[in-house]
């Protein structure tokens, strides 16, 4: 068999095969796949102006010598933030311990920020950077909110935290996953006081609602009982009226037939029936009176607990007693009418109908009166609540004014304390410094006192010596002052001023006489100088 391939040809083929296998091996080794929980960062020679190319998922070839790669972990990181003594909007320091869950974002722009700023850092270093950013933004958000907004409107507080923190952590490639504020406290106890106030208001409101419900239930029960008793009494009255009417008709007919036969027996029967009717009426009246007394006593005892129910029961008792009296009266009239004539029976029926109409009118008036009482109680309760709210507002204003005055006084006390500390052993300098501070105000007030005075002439008196004596007018001021005593008093009188006793007095005998000349040294005559 002839030889097809020579030894050189086989060597070339083998070399090519080996080279191809080597290239394939290199390509396979340089192809990198990105897991779902990581970000593949390719750096080195990449397209565009970016320093790195980030991928989440998929894979890419890494060019040897020109490119390299690294991974960023996407697992969430939990950071405990023990924020303490953060200054709120009203200068109250609060403690807001919270837990933040963050992680590297998969958004393209934010991934590039992470590749530039977090690549090569471990989890502790990344958490430290995030913690510093979160603390700063938390303090910033708390400084813009009051205690009430932080404590009551948690949703607004968390929205602001999410917004501010997310913007800042995105700059280093992170994103905010969750925020959990564990508690909000303050060193001054302001939040606790707000909680006690809210609890007290809720308890008081619940008590008011329970009292209103009890009152409404008691009023409804009383109205139902009253309506029931009124309806029962009306039905009984109608039944008794019908019964008495039938009995009256029967007795009238019997009496009429028997009266035609035996007049004496009819008269005796009539007297007997009248006596029975009178005794029955008295018995019924006594029974109703006793029932009325019993119900009145029960109503009086129950009045201490529920005033409205007492009044209702008392009205029912009075109405029942009146109804019993009217029934007794109607029965008596019916018995009398039985003995006299049918005309009296018709008259009794007329009076009974009038009594029924009167009963309905009384019941209607009682209902109207109870409605008026309920409306009056509701209006009084509204006025009391409005007055209580106004009183709370005035009290809060006075408390705020007192707090401001206390702070001003504390600041003054601190200033005085610093002034005394600066003076050291020279404590007497403190009053002088305070007086010097107020001296411009005192001078201004003194100027205001004389600024409206109109001065038309200035008189200068000088009684001193200007010759060869021991001194001039200035050096001999005292001697000149004594010599010019009368003119000074004259000038003071002209100006309406009383000079002090130390300057002496000018003796007067009858009419005013000139003052004696001074004992020592000549005195020059006063000379007015117009100014």
pLDDT at 310 over 80: no
Position 480 scores a pLDDT of 58
Q: pLDDT-derived band of residue 201, with 50, 70 and 90 as boundaries?
A: confident
Which of 135-139, 283-287, 517-521 has the least mean pLDDT? 517-521
Which of 6, 184, 222 shows the shortest CA–CA distance to 96? 184
In this model, does residue 59 exceed pLDDT 60? yes
| CA–CA separation, 91 and 147 (whole Å) | 9
What are the phi and psi torsion angles at 530 (to 5°)?
A: -80, 135
The listed range with the strongest mean pLDDT (183-187, 292-296, 422-426, 456-460) is 183-187
Neighbours of 151 (CB within 10 A): 19
Would the pLDDT of 100 be above 90?
Answer: yes
Q: Which two tokens stand for residue 527?
A: 């000379």
Per residue in 354-381, pLDDT tens?
888 888 888 888 888 888 888 888 888 8
**275 token code pair:** 């006596």
481 pLDDT tier (thresholds 50, 70, 90): low
Alpha-carbon distance values, 166 to 36, 96, 382 (Å): 23, 18, 50
Task: Write down the architecture of domain 75-188 according to CATH.
Answer: 2-Layer Sandwich (3.30)
Per-residue pLDDT tens over the stretch 381-393: 889 888 888 888 8
| 503 secondary structure, DSSP code | G
d(CA 256, CA 139): 110
Average pLDDT estimate for 427-448? 73
Q: Looking at residue 525, what is its pLDDT?
A: 40
Strand partners, 41: 54, 70
For the beta carbon of residue 390, count every other beta carbon within 10 angstroms: 10
Provide the residue ranges of all domains of the chain, joining segments of one domain with +: 7-70, 75-188, 223-390, 456-531
The mean pLDDT value of the chain amounts to 76
pLDDT digits (tens, 9 = 90+) for 311-342: 767 777 777 887 788 788 877 776 776 767 67
C-alpha span between 63 and 436 (Å, rounded) = 85
Highest mean pLDDT among 29-38, 89-98, 455-464: 89-98
Note the pLDDT of residue 309.
64
- Of residues 522 and 342, more confidence is placed in 342
Q: Give the tens place of pLDDT for each residue, 221-266.
A: 888 888 888 888 788 878 887 888 888 778 787 767 766 766 766 5
Can you tell me the mean pLDDT for 496-511? 55
Query: At 456, is the pLDDT very low, low, confident or very high (cuts 50, 70, 90)?
Result: low
Assess contact for 101 and 177: CB atoms under 8 A: yes
Q: What does the buried/exposed string (b/e) look like for 70-98 if buried means 16 or more CB atoms within 10 Å of the residue's CB?
A: eebbbeebebebebeebebeeebebebeb
pLDDT, one tens digit per residue, over 269-302 is 777 788 787 878 787 887 778 777 777 777 666 6
Q: List residues bridging with 118 in a β-sheet.
A: none
CB 310 within 8 A of CB 302: yes
- DSSP 8-state class, residue 107: S
Q: Within 13 Å of residue 96, how many CA atoms lie on the same side as its CB?
A: 27
pLDDT score of 423 more than 50: yes
């Amino acid at each position: 068999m002839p030889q097809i391939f020579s030894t050189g040809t086989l060597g070339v083929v083998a070399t090519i095969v080996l080279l191809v296998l080597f290239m394939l091996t290199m390509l396979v080794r340089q192809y990198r796949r990105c897991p779902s929980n990581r970000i593949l960062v390719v750096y080195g020679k990449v397209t565009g102006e970016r320093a790195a190319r980030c991928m989440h998922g998929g894979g890419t070839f890494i060019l040897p010598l020109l490119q390299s790669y690294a991974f960023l972990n996407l697992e969430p990181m939990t950071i405990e933030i023990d924020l303490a003594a953060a200054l709120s909007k009203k200068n109250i320091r609060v403690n807001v311990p919270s837990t933040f869950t963050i992680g590297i974002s998969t958004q393209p722009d934010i991934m590039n920020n992470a590749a530039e700023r977090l690549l090569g850092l471990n989890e502790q270093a990344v958490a430290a950077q995030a913690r510093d950013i979160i603390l700063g933004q938390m303090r910033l958000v708390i400084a813009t909110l009051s205690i009430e907004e932080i404590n009551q409107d948690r949703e607004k507080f968390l929205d602001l935290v999410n917004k501010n923190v997310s913007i800042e952590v995105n700059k280093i490639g992170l994103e905010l996953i969750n925020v959990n504020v564990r508690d909000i406290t303050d060193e001054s106890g302001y939040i606790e006081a707000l909680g006690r106030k809210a609890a007290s208001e809720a308890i008081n409101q619940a008590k008011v609602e329970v009292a209103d419900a009890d009152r409404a239930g008691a009023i409804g029960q009383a109205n139902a009982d009253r309506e029931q008793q009124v309806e029962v009494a009306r039905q009984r009255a109608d039944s008794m009226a019908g019964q008495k009417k039938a009995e009256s008709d029967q007795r009238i007919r019997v009496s009429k037939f028997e009266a035609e036969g035996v007049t004496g027996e009819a008269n005796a029967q009539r007297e007997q029936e009248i006596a029975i009717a009178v005794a029955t009426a008295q018995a019924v009246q006594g029974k109703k009176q006793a029932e009325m007394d019993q119900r009145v006593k029960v109503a009086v005892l129950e009045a201490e607990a529920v005033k409205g129910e007492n009044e209702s029961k008392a009205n029912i008792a009075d109405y029942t007693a009146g109804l019993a009296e009217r029934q007794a009266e109607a029965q008596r009239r019916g018995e009398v009418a039985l003995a006299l004539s049918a005309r009296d029976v018709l008259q009794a029926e007329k009076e009974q109908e009038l009594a029924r109409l009167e009963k309905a009118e009384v019941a209607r008036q009682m209902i109207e009166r109870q409605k008026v009482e309920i409306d009056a109680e509701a209006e009084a309760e509204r006025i009391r609540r409005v007055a209580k709210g106004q009183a709370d507002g005035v009290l809060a204003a006075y408390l705020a004014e007192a707090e401001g005055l206390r702070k001003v006084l504390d600041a003054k006390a601190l200033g005085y304390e610093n002034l005394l500390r600066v003076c050291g052993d020279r404590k007497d300098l403190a009053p002088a410094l305070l007086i010097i501070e107020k001296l411009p105000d005192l001078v201004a007030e003194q100027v205001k006192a004389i600024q409206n005075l109109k001065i038309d002439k200035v008189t200068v008196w000088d009684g001193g010596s200007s010759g060869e004596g021991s001194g001039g007018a200035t050096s001999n001021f005292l001697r000149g002052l004594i010599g010019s005593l009368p003119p000074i008093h004259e000038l003071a009188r002209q100006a309406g001023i009383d000079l002090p006793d130390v300057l002496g007095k000018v003796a007067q005998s009858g009419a005013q006489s000139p003052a004696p000349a001074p004992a020592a040294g000549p005195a020059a005559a006063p000379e007015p100088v117009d100014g």
